[in-house]
Amino acid sequence: MRVARLALALPTLLSVPAFAVDIDGRIDPAEWEGAHHVTDFRKVQPLSGQPASLPTEAWILATPEGLAVAFRNTQPASVPRTNQRVRRDFEEQVDRVNLMVDFDGDGRTGYNFTVSSTDGVFDAVVTNETQFNKDWDGNWKHATSNDAEGWSAEILIPWYIAPMREGSNGERRIRVYVDRVVGSTGERVAWPAVSFKQSRFLSGFEPLEVPLYSQSLLAVTPYVSGLYDNVGGRSDFDGGADIFWKPNGQFQLTATINPDFGQVESDDLVVNFDATETFISDKRPFFTENQGIFEYTTPSDYSQLLYTRRVGGPADDGEGSGDITAAVKLNGSFGDTKYGVFAADESGEAGRTFGALRLVRGFDTQNLGLMLTQVDRPYLDREATVLGIDHNWRPTPRWNIRSRLFGSRIRQAGGESDDLGASIWADYEMDGGWRQQWIAMHFGDELQINDLGYLSQNDLNYGHWEVARRFTGLPEDSRYASKDWRWRVSRITNDHGQLLRDQLRLSRNSELRNGSSEYITTNINSSGVDDLLTRGHGVVELPANFNAVFEYNRPRKGNWAYDLSLVAMSGGLAGNDKIGYEAEFEPTYFVTDAFSINAGVYMNHTPDWLVWQHDNLIGSFEGREWHFNAGLDWSIGSRQELRVKLQTLAIDARARQGWRVDGSGNAMPSDDPVEDFSVRNLGFQIRYRYELAPLSYLYVVYGRGGYRENPFSEDPFDGLRDSFDLRDDEQLLVKLSYRFEI
């Protein structure tokens, strides 16, 4: 069937006249004459494949200015419309359409362009079949219009938006996916009928042949910023520039000189007493621009060989952040081989030099890639090299198999160490909504990729088998539109043959007919050892434990939307003898479609919280944690927005017992002093943004924050109240950036 559709589409697309399309949100039949017309939209949320409940049409047209797509979405008065205004990269459940394009047609990298009915936008890069990264922002055109019968959207994606392989005989083969989401019900209909909830999504896009158009672009985005530190009583002025040059489809250069570290963004508060590092995504434009070529991940959470937050991250001498002098990135292709080159340099005695090389070759049913990274850290007399090979194989429409093999070599202070890591995961789609998944991972105990990459834990062996079934044909009177059940068994050991955990997981992900979503999961864990808690001073034997999670998301109905999460769990040395809980509730009130206020509270009680003290001494605490979050979002017209974000956090830890760990991993009661402690943390930001032109902004940002750790116990509610007094930092920042295109 797919071959037949392609055969019908080719003559139409190849005979399209090269006329420009006016992107005004109003579909003029004369402008779209000769376009590929899509009417066969099928339900993919729920994933039933049935025809769309509401008529939906799309037109796809290749023009010299870019790939143009129009949507006509019929929506009668009986189906409520979401008129809510949203900011860029929104996640709210609103009426919207999606265009996703794989410009090389090899199932390796796709680009997602979303437009809401109120002309809000979202864009992201799609890699690894189903992995979306919304940190990237592209420069593309869009417009919408509304009328009594429905709403329309028009999109134009310039050919310079991404590097593309050479075509042949004046044609380019791309892959395309279009969908529509009805905000009030959550129904998603798409062409072709594939879903990102399946293991194969990106490679399932519809192949289309289009004329071989190409565009060149030189864009320079200088910025200037001024910062006043109200605590230190000092001012600082800075400037730099990002450069984007694409002379043709097969080569692209991105460079940055003295980039800022994203002062206009506000990361969520994190207080981490664990032995593993917290992953934080990167929002700096240079580091997100066409970063998809460098995607090299494993099934381990957030793992990757190139983690750009390392560049300009905490300096090796412990004095603030690294000062980036300059960085450059090259993307392109030679025939069927795509490449990427990345280099960055920091100034000063503690400055580091980063480099990465990426090669990817696509075949009909598989992709083969190579990744090489190197970091020179002279302050630590350390040089780190990592080499990885990745292979993605789709032998049949039912199978998706991904494998990774990588290793590290570290030279430091005259010594040298090296080790390997490997992973393989296979997904198999069966009939009747059934599917299976197998994952196996090995990370050697000397494997070290975190000089430029991210891996939460090495010295690890992991395997799991999962069976899942999706139910979509539910009765019409059911409150659920679909249910997705999963059953998983897994085992984790370390490289010394010690069992960390056996686990049985039962979960259900449900979509409701009112557009809400619901998630329930239970993890039952066996006894095992914790080999990270004492930071290298021996393992700790832990008893069996469990956790159970319930999450509910209700999108806006009337003036209200909310998220609810409830967790029950056990753990620590007490195992299942002591039960803790977590609870979070975050409502949002919409004063108007453009103005909303949110507030939320989080509470946690951990009756046997284990915190490392020093050497082989650990403390058992009764831990309580409270968060209070609040903010507002105001879309002031189409070019301005005001955001206020408040986060406060308070932790109270009351000492119960000190424990010494013996050579066999047994925790023995100890008289060593273990003291109560408490933590307060504050983050507050007011941010005004004015869009001068596409990707050109004026920011005015006020920020205040602070952190205190006290050697005494304090009630979490009192700690939240006291956190408003924190003032370690208080700054006013003004930043202006303007993109000049030549």
Given this model, what pLDDT does residue 261 score? Answer: 58
Which of 272-286, 332-346, 595-609, 712-726 shows the lowest per-residue confidence on average (mean pLDDT)? 272-286
Q: Is residue 392 part of a domain?
A: yes
Q: What is the SS3 assignment for 5?
A: helix
Given this model, what pLDDT does residue 128 score? Answer: 87
Same domain for 39 and 172, yes or no, is yes
Q: Is residue 476 part of a domain?
A: no
Check residue 51 and report its DSSP letter.
B
CATH number of domain containing 87:
2.60.40.1190
pTM of the model: 0.90
Q: Read off the tokens for 697.
A: 């902004």
Are 320 and 348 spatial neighbours (Cβ–Cβ below 8 Å)?
no
Sign of CA dihedral 351, 352, 353, 354: negative
Same domain for 341 and 310, yes or no, is yes
Q: Is residue 243 part of a domain?
A: no
The residue-averaged pLDDT of 576-594 equals: 97
Given this model, what pLDDT does residue 262 score? Answer: 55
Cβ neighbour number for residue 27 with a 10 Å cutoff = 17
The residue-averaged pLDDT of 76-103 equals: 94
Q: What is the SS3 assignment for 634?
A: strand
In angstroms, rounded to a whole number, what is the distance separating the alpha carbons of residues 681 and 320? 19
Given a cut of 60, is residue 230 above it in pLDDT? Answer: yes
Given this model, what pLDDT does residue 19 score? Answer: 56
- The full DSSP string for 286-341 is HHHTT-GGG--B-SSTT-BS--GGGTTSB-TTSSSB--EEEEEEEEEEETTEEEEE
Which of 209-213, 285-289, 469-473, 705-709 shows the lowest per-residue confidence on average (mean pLDDT)? 285-289
Given a cut of 80, is residue 637 above it in pLDDT? Answer: yes
Q: Among 56-60, 265-269, 345-349, which range has the highest average pLDDT?
A: 56-60
Q: Is residue 516 part of a domain?
A: no
Given a cut of 70, is residue 13 above it in pLDDT? Answer: no
Q: What are phi and psi of 490, to 5 degrees?
A: -145, 160
Distance separating the N- and C-terminal Cα atoms of the chain:
44
Given a cut of 80, is residue 32 above it in pLDDT? Answer: yes
Check residue 269 and report its DSSP letter.
P
Are 735 and 265 spatial neighbours (Cβ–Cβ below 8 Å)?
no
Torsion of CA 533, 537, 539, 545, to 10 degrees: -20
Same domain for 10 and 76, yes or no, is yes
In angstroms, rounded to a whole number, what is the distance separating the alpha carbons of residues 275 and 610? 12
pLDDT tens string 401-422: 999 999 999 999 878 999 999 9
Q: Read off the tokens for 409.
A: 């070599």
Given a cut of 50, is residue 10 above it in pLDDT? Answer: no
Q: Which helix or strand (DSSP H or E) is residue 153 part of?
A: strand 150-157
b/e burial code for range 168-183 (CB count within 10 A of at least 16 → b): eeeebbbbbbbbbbbb
Q: Is residue 56 part of a domain?
A: yes
Nearest to 649 by CA among 722, 728, 584, 712: 722
Same domain for 348 and 417, yes or no, is yes
Given a cut of 70, is residue 18 above it in pLDDT? Answer: no
Nearest to 443 by CA among 427, 463, 415: 463
Q: Which helix or strand (DSSP H or E) is residue 503 part of?
A: strand 499-512
Say which residue the tokens 């039933």 belong to.
48
Are 541 and 572 spatial neighbours (Cβ–Cβ below 8 Å)?
no
On average, the pLDDT of the chain sits at 92
Q: How many domains does the structure of the chain reveal?
A: 3
C-alpha count within 13 angstroms, C-beta hemisphere, residue 614: 4
Given a cut of 50, is residue 546 above it in pLDDT? Answer: yes
Q: Which domain holds residue 27?
A: 2-214
In angstroms, rounded to a whole number, what is the distance separating the alpha carbons of residues 369 and 339? 10
Same domain for 696 and 628, yes or no, is yes
Sign of CA dihedral 226, 227, 233, 234: negative
Cβ neighbours for 195, distance < 8 A, ≥ 6 positions apart: 44, 45, 47, 188, 201
| Residue 168 confidence class, pLDDT cut points 50, 70, 90 | confident
Q: What are phi and psi of 269, to 5 degrees?
A: -65, 135
Same domain for 234 and 185, yes or no, is no
Cβ neighbours for 477, distance < 8 A, ≥ 6 positions apart: none
Cis ω on the peptide bond leading into residue 192 (within 30° of 0)? yes
Same domain for 589 and 647, yes or no, is yes
Given a cut of 90, is residue 165 above it in pLDDT? Answer: no
The residue-averaged pLDDT of 223-241 equals: 93
Q: Is residue 621 part of a domain?
A: yes
Are 175 and 105 spatial neighbours (Cβ–Cβ below 8 Å)?
yes
Which of 15-29, 185-199, 658-672 shows the lowest per-residue confidence on average (mean pLDDT)? 15-29
Same domain for 358 and 399, yes or no, is yes
Cβ neighbours for 30, distance < 8 A, ≥ 6 positions apart: none
Say which residue the tokens 């975190």 belong to.
450
Q: Is residue 465 part of a domain?
A: no
Given this model, what pLDDT does residue 691 score? Answer: 94
Say which residue the tokens 């992107």 belong to.
23
Same domain for 705 and 582, yes or no, is yes
Q: What are phi and psi of 198, to 5 degrees?
A: -95, 160
Q: What is the SS3 assignment for 10?
A: helix
Q: Read off the tokens for 155.
A: 């999109």
Phi and psi based region of residue 334 (left: phi greater than 0; alpha: psi -120 to 50; beta: remaining): beta
Cis ω on the peptide bond leading into residue 46 (within 30° of 0)? yes
In angstroms, rounded to a whole number, what is the distance separating the alpha carbons of residues 96 and 116? 4
| Residue 8 confidence class, pLDDT cut points 50, 70, 90 | very low
Q: What is the SS3 assignment for 495?
A: coil
pLDDT tens string 255-310: 999 887 556 766 777 778 888 888 888 888 888 887 889 999 999 989 999 999 99
Are 426 and 401 spatial neighbours (Cβ–Cβ below 8 Å)?
yes
Pairing between β-strand 540-542 and β-strand 545-557 as defined by DSSP bridges: unpaired
Given this model, what pLDDT does residue 14 score? Answer: 37
Same domain for 429 and 571, yes or no, is no
Q: What is the SS3 assignment for 545?
A: strand
Write down the H helix ranges in 15-164.
none
Q: Is 298 exposed, middle or buried (0-12, 13-18, 19+ CB in 10 A)?
A: buried
b/e burial code for range 383-412 (CB count within 10 A of at least 16 → b): bbbbbbbbebebeeeeebbbbbebbbbbee
pLDDT tens string 472-524: 989 999 999 999 999 999 999 999 999 999 999 999 999 999 999 999 999 99
CA triplet 66, 71, 72: central angle to 5 degrees? 150
Q: Is 688 exposed, middle or buried (0-12, 13-18, 19+ CB in 10 A)?
A: middle
Same domain for 222 and 194, yes or no, is no
Q: Is residue 103 part of a domain?
A: yes
Domain boundary among 421, 440, 458: 458
Given this model, what pLDDT does residue 521 score? Answer: 98
Nearest to 514 by CA among 93, 77, 11: 93
| Residue 249 confidence class, pLDDT cut points 50, 70, 90 | confident
Same domain for 310 and 227, yes or no, is no
